[in-house]
Amino acid sequence: MKITWLGHSAFRIETNAAKILIDPFLTHNPSFAGQDIKQVASGITHILLTHGHGDHVGDTISLARETGAVVLANADLAAWLGSKGVERIEMGNTGGTVSLGSFTATFTNALHSSAQITEDGVSHALGNPNGLMLHFDDEASLLHMGDTDIFSDMALLNELHQPDIGIVPIGDRFTMGGAVAALACRRYFNFKTAIPCHYGTFPIIDQTPDKFVSGMEGSKTQVKAPKQGETLSI
């Protein structure tokens, strides 16, 4: 599996059978600057969304139109995307699992919000925020937590899904900060690899993963904090 951090919470995940973008906030993402959207979107088969905020939906509509990728989102967000011309949509909701060919995606809980104020100035209620638990046929399992705080039922998520890889928001203010995120990983999960995200994008959130890295010292989990645009092979 190849995992590329595109900045903020956006990732490209490549397996033998799928090329996936998660939360493709690219065009207006300061930490994506210098990267090539066409290259990032090349060959994508799926776009997966954790929730409806603009810094997560990002370029979904244009990329879906250009590539024909299947878009997975919660039911309310999926319906809204459909009204914007996105044709290939798979919808679900918290606790539900959707089969996407070579992998499944389960909508997990997240403590956050999801409405979006669009360019027309209208606030759209776009369902509940989620994490996304991905199980692949021949690859490690992966949990993208979405935007969230710590919650004790993370232990139940680990019991149910036993994710190998965790993509963890650490930037504080809008999600848990690095120290709390480290506590969540150490207390509730048994990740083999943890990848921090949702930091360094805007001045009002933490700029480095230092608090998370420090909090994970001594754990059995390997922390990998790639540079924006860097690809990890796991």
The domain locations on the chain are: 2-225
Exposure b/e, 161-179, CB count within 10 A at least 16 = b: bebbbbbbbbbbebbbbbe
Instruction: Please say whether the beta carbons of 178 and 150 come within 8 A.
Output: no
Residue 158 contacts residue 109 (beta carbons within 8 Å):
no
Contact call for residues 2 and 43 (beta carbons, < 8 A): no
**Distance separating alpha carbons of residues 154 and 145, to the nearest angstrom:** 10
Residues 164-210: tens digit of each pLDDT: 999 999 999 999 999 999 999 999 999 999 999 999 999 999 999 99
Query: What pLDDT is stored for residue 122 in this prediction?
Result: 85
User: Per-residue confidence at 132, pLDDT binned at 50, 70, 90?
Assistant: very high
Q: What are the CA-CA distances from residue 156 to residues 29, 71, 133, 185 (Å)?
A: 33, 27, 13, 13
What's the CATH code, domain 2-225?
A: 3.60.15.10
Q: What φ, ψ does residue 65 adopt, rounded to 5°?
A: -65, -40
